[in-house]
Structure 1
Amino acid sequence: MHHGRYAYSALPDRPVYDWPGGRRLAVYVALNLETFDFGSGLGAELAPGGPQPDVLNYAWRDWGNRVGAWRIRDTLDALGLPASVLANSRLYRDCPGLVEAFRARGDEIVAHGRSNAERQGDLDGDFDAAAERALIAEATAILTREEGRAPAGWLGPWISQSRVTPDLLAEAGYTYLLDWCHDDQPTWLATRGGGRILAVPYPQELNDIPAIVARQDTGRQFADALTDAFDEMLAQSAAAPLVMGIALHPYIAGQPHRLRPLRAALAHIAGHRDRIWITTAGAIARHAAPLAG
């Protein structure tokens, strides 16, 4: 089987274009602000969970919204870095004032489903999409009401999709998604009815959940990976425009022993702002839309 969303394309064979200001490397920070159900549902684990209610892991994740997110906000402020905030819509109910604090910074608010206690791909069969359509509609309506505008981008909780998710997102008015992590440039995905939606690169390697929770890297190893990837991508971008995303979760990256090396890595990147485009996923999508293959 084939997904039918895009054809194979080798990076060296594509047309070369620039990001604003003649830059070739676009860098954005994706900050995942998430809420979880108590006593049920999905959630990352600091340690193997016991029977529900799993207080150990629930409280660890909740610390991120109460403490870690605010420390990351202060770090971004100090370095003058914008963020693409990937927000569960139920955060407005569960953590009043949290998303609003990042809105006040001028950050982009990206739709990230209702909560991270569920996966879109679990809701329906492959083509019976009523429950998934309802999830997208609910999250979109809440973010539109709270932010005063409809979100342009979507990342599914747990990067989970059904076979029709890109179609549903395009039909709901989304112009880009972050789930497909198959390239270092934005690429168009085909959707039903002759439509399309732009896939903006979102990191799986430079992402604190796979790195720290799954591979058990230390905070310093994660920071070193960010620095090494940035230096290499900056060099590689001489030949082609590239996107480097950094995915952070406050209950992981916001921990003090990880925040200090993370801050140093972000400072290293920010120190090259005269050579790179430090931006948001939405700005990348808008600039790339007429240029991407």
Structure 2
Amino acid sequence: MLPTHGRYDYHDWPTRRAYAWPGEARLAVYLGLNLEHFAFGEGLGAELAPGGPQPDVLNFAWRDYGNRVGAWRLLGLLDELDLPATVLLNSAMYDYAPALVAAHRARGDEIAGHGRTNSERQSVLSEAEERGLIAASTAAIAHHEGRAPRGWLSPWIAESHTTPDLLAEAGYAYTLNWCADDAPIWMRTRGGRLLAIPYPQEVNDIPSIVGRKDGAEQFADMVVDDFEERLHQTRDGLAQVMGIALHPYLVGQPYRMRHLRRALTHLSARRDVVWFTTAGGVLDHVLTLPPGTIPGE
């Protein structure tokens, strides 16, 4: 027998139970907007060009552009199209760019946990250190937002063997770390169940633009094609979740935003058959479904 994580069982797609999202939609779409802050002169960070010795000013400043400029332009686009967002928040942003977080709070966006900073991975920490990281990030969000976050995305999608357990024990209801499905599934933890909501590793600007070097037009086409194919697939009656992962230092660049606007305008024109929501909205609806509807329950 191969080693296994033991968090969920195999559930084949054709035998899933059918259910609908609000408005009888079969496709739920949410935007996962990553607001991240990075240490200067040390730690992890995506690179526009191969980094040199620290301090790596080129790549640090390129990422910082996202918080200073790109994120504000993305806010304008979300307002223009009247689209909600799940903000995946490094808690360091409260000290660095509080006005940016406040702007998302003012429009009613969901704030989800995304660690302290994307300069670190939680997967290399001891269990006590990882518990402390989760607690610190959660406490900061609860303090500023007036309530604790319900969802978590690890910086760099990095997990230890106990991360789902620690999240459930810290009061989290869903995780975005596991990209193994097109619909929510329940995971097992030592602290009870945890909902895994699909978060994209394909329709995600970092793997696309940074990893594969896709162009702005290609990434936008990917968003549209993924959306249209999912709409076609949902004719089988089975509900799906489509996440779109965005980072302001990437898609907040003007030439990329031009194509992102085209893609999101295309999607938003289909509100008649699609439910635009947040990851937390997906959780809320799942909790209303009859017992046994969601795999792993």
- In the superposition, the TM-score normalised over structure 1's length comes to 0.97
The correspondence of residues 101-180 of structure 1 with structure 2, limited to 5 A, is: 101-124=103-126, 129-180=127-178
Question: Please, what is the CA RMSD of the aligned residues?
Answer: 0.7
Supply the AA of the counterpart residue of 2:25. Answer: R
Contiguous gaps of at least 5 residues in structure 2: none
| CA distance, structure 1, for counterparts of residue 47 and residue 23 of structure 2 | 42
Supply the AA of the counterpart residue of 1:213. Answer: V
| CA distance, structure 2, for counterparts of residue 188 and residue 263 of structure 1 | 34
Residue from 17, 26, 29 that aligns with 1:15: 17
Supply the AA of the counterpart residue of 1:233. Answer: R
| CA distance, structure 2, for counterparts of residue 279 and residue 270 of structure 1 | 12
The alignment partner of 2:23 has SS state of: helix
The question of 1:205 aligning with 2:196 is answered no
The question of 1:216 aligning with 2:213 is answered yes
Corresponding position of 2:261 = 263
Supply the AA of the counterpart residue of 1:119. Answer: R
Residue from 275, 279, 288 that aligns with 2:273: 275
Corresponding position of 2:184 = 186
| CA distance, structure 2, for counterparts of residue 292 and residue 15 of structure 1 | 8
The alignment partner of 1:121 has SS state of: coil
The correspondence of residues 234-253 of structure 1 with structure 2, limited to 5 A, is: 234-239=231-236, 240-253=238-251
| CA distance, structure 1, for counterparts of residue 56 and residue 251 of structure 2 | 21
Corresponding position of 2:32 = 30
Corresponding position of 1:196 = 193
Contiguous gaps of at least 5 residues in structure 1: none
Deviation at 1:98, TM superposition (A): 1.1
| CA distance, structure 2, for counterparts of residue 102 and residue 96 of structure 1 | 10
The alignment partner of 1:238 has SS state of: helix
| CA distance, structure 2, for counterparts of residue 74 and residue 123 of structure 1 | 38
Give the share of equivalent positions with the same residue, in percent.
61
Deviation at 1:237, TM superposition (A): 1.3
The question of 1:229 aligning with 2:231 is answered no
The question of 1:69 aligning with 2:75 is answered no
Deviations 1:92-122 (A, max 9, x none): 0011211111111110001100000000101
| CA distance, structure 2, for counterparts of residue 281 and residue 51 of structure 1 | 38
- In the superposition, the TM-score normalised over structure 2's length comes to 0.96
Deviations 1:45-95 (A, max 9, x none): 000001100000000000000000000110010001000000000100011
| CA distance, structure 2, for counterparts of residue 143 and residue 197 of structure 1 | 20
The alignment partner of 1:198 has SS state of: strand
Deviations 1:26-51 (A, max 9, x none): 00001000000000000000000011
Question: Runs of at least 4 residues of structure 1 off by over 6 A?
Answer: none
Corresponding position of 2:81 = 79
Corresponding position of 1:285 = 283
The alignment partner of 1:237 has SS state of: helix
Deviation at 1:174, TM superposition (A): 0.3
Deviations 1:172-226 (A, max 9, x none): 0000000000000000010015x11000000000000000000000010000000
Corresponding position of 1:54 = 56
